[in-house]
Amino acid sequence: MTSGPTAVIASWEYRNAVRARWVLTMAVVFGLLCVTVTLLAFRTVRELGLSGIGPASATLVNLGVLLPSLMGLLLGAGSLAGAREQGLLAMICAQPLRRSQVAVGAFLGLTASLWTTLGVGFGVAMLILSGVARGADVPALVTLIGATLGVAAASVAIGVAVSSIVSSRVQAVAVAVGLWIVLSLGVDLALAALAPSVHMGPSGLLTAILINPLESGRILALLGTNFEGTALGPFGAYLITTFGRWGTVGLLVADLVAWTVGPLLLARWALPRKDL
Amino acid sequence: MPEGRPRESAASVGVAVPVEVRHVTKVYRGGWGLHDVSFTLPMGVIAALGGPNGSGKSTLLRCMAGLARYEGEVRLHGERLDARPGPRRAIGFLAQTVILPEHATIDEVIDLFARLRGADPQRLPLPAGFLNAGTDRIGELSGGQRHRVALAIALVGNPTLLLLDEPIASLDERGRAVFWEMLATLCERDGVTAIVSSPSPSELRAVADVGLFLDDGRLVREEDFSGVGATIMHPFPSDDEQVGS
């Protein structure tokens, strides 16, 4: 998928995003939150006489889903729409390249910058956790980081798609924030309200999860901390029984990939149809 | 005595390879952006694109640069300019307003566009002193200097058709003089054709070969400033007219 202009745009976006102060600020905030959560969980572990990283990683799961998704959506949403308002997108798209390459390049560069940001936060947390981690905790940590990176990539892709469709940066950011609220809270609240009345079974619940990349990432990360799925209750048992352990992981990973590729295809379709 | 920069002969402008704009029509939701605009230009001329605000100057340049969808066609060297990347290699485009990233350096910005075009960033056809290339950040430059960077971007890769939307708006008097001299050199020496828009084309009259005047999206007037027959503009018959005749 990567070609010359795509790589050039990706490199440019990465450099600009890393240099932007708010990305650096978010890296520091995310790092501090990770450290705080880890230290608090570490204290609990010691007070209860437990070993392992379970309490810390369980809290990191929510942190790793909510904050990176918001950052990804905002980064993606501001990219093309912002460049369009600045006239820079017109100057770039007047070059001998395809606009789809601009959309994909922006996605790659922003995702790489967000992954760098997350790497800083997780890196510090992992250093602290390494004091209590056991060998058996490694898969949980790897799954947690993988799920977070997956959610981040999907969020950037959704943001880029939004950015390629709407008319202004303000609109793009508003849509991104609205989407984040819906995906992080709205779907859960709707499910809590509807599930009892519509008698939503496990398959209905699975569908509700698959249509929400944040939920897919969260379930994936939780499965990493508890591979038997018992932490997810009866629903976890349903997943493991129906799809098997690796099948469930594969299903959730495929869902995150679909939530990344789908919006990118939408951006590739929409941007060339936009007057600049 | 016609105005415009002195020209020696029409032959020097290479009239065999014209820029063709045929029946270009752009419709916005609110009405016409461009209404059946047609003209041809030979290579090696400076064309002033005039008209009041909202007359369609920027829209025409954006259509020609492939940035806006339109009906009709634009051809350069006989090849249609559209969404394909290849033909657009010949175009250098300057948007009316360009805000470059403040933390980027001049070299980085030039390098970005040079890499996108597969061109050498060191080989810009700029006169000495026009651009203080280097490690200066965009945020440290004045408005005029930033505009010079944007102009330099349009020249990356030695395009043969320059589409410049109000390129002199932010330049001081000396900057304008240098810019016009540079443009004249590019046109005469390299056969570059430049279409330069301005809401007040009186200044362009002294340096341009021809004038194209738009009003309400229509090409309402054409003027030959140079007086050497260097420009041959004629509207193309529409398809309906061709069928009817």
Distance CA A133, CA A136 (A): 8
Cα of first residue to Cα of last residue in chain A, in angstroms, is: 24
DSSP annotation of B137: B
How many other C-beta atoms lie within 10 A of the C-beta of residue A185?
Answer: 12
Which of B26, B29, B64, B67 is the best mutation test for A, with the most CBs of A within 10 A? Answer: B67
User: Would an 8 Å CB–CB cutoff place B220 in contact with chain A?
Assistant: no
Q: Is residue B118 part of a domain?
A: yes
Interchain proximity A275–B93, CB inside 8 Å: no
Interchain proximity A15–B118, CB inside 8 Å: no
Q: Tell me the nearest-neighbour CA distance from B233 into chain A, angstroms.
A: 25
Closest residue, chain B, to A88 (C-alpha): B98
Give alpha helix (H) positions in B90-223. Answer: 106-117, 143-155, 173-190, 202-205
**pLDDT higher at A145 or A228:** A145
If DSSP states are collapsed to H, E and C, what string results for A247-268? HHHHHHHHHHHHHHHHHHHHHH
Is the whole model's pTM more than 0.90, yes or no?
Answer: no
Q: Which of A144, A152, A140, A129 is nearest to A23 (CA)?
A: A152
Tokens 């932007």 — which residue? A20
Q: Which of A12, A17, A6, A7 is nearest to A113 (CA)?
A: A17
Full domain range(s) for residue B153: 44-69+89-231
Q: pLDDT in tens for each of the 245 residues of chain B?
A: 345 555 443 334 444 447 889 899 999 887 888 999 998 888 889 999 998 888 999 999 999 999 999 999 998 888 888 777 888 888 999 998 888 888 889 999 999 999 999 888 778 777 777 777 677 888 888 888 888 899 999 999 889 999 999 888 888 888 888 888 888 888 988 889 999 998 776 777 878 888 899 999 998 888 887 764 444 445 555 555 544 43
Question: Which residue in the set A8, A88, A94 is minimally distant from B100, CB to CB?
Answer: A88
Cβ neighbours of residue A246 under 8 Å, at least 6 residues apart? none
Which chain B residues have a beta carbon less than 8 Å from that of A9?
116
Closest residue, chain B, to A99 (C-alpha): B83
Question: What value of ipTM does the predicted structure carry?
Answer: 0.82
Counted domains in chain B: 1
Which chain B residues have a beta carbon less than 8 Å from that of A93?
66-67
User: Would an 8 Å CB–CB cutoff place A192 in contact with chain B?
Assistant: no
User: Would an 8 Å CB–CB cutoff place A15 in contact with chain B?
Assistant: yes
Q: Tell me the nearest-neighbour CA distance from A19 into chain B, angstroms.
A: 7
Distance CA A129, CA A106 (A): 34
Which chain A residues have a beta carbon less than 8 Å from that of B67?
90, 93-94, 275-276
The CATH code of the domain that includes B62 is 3.40.50.300
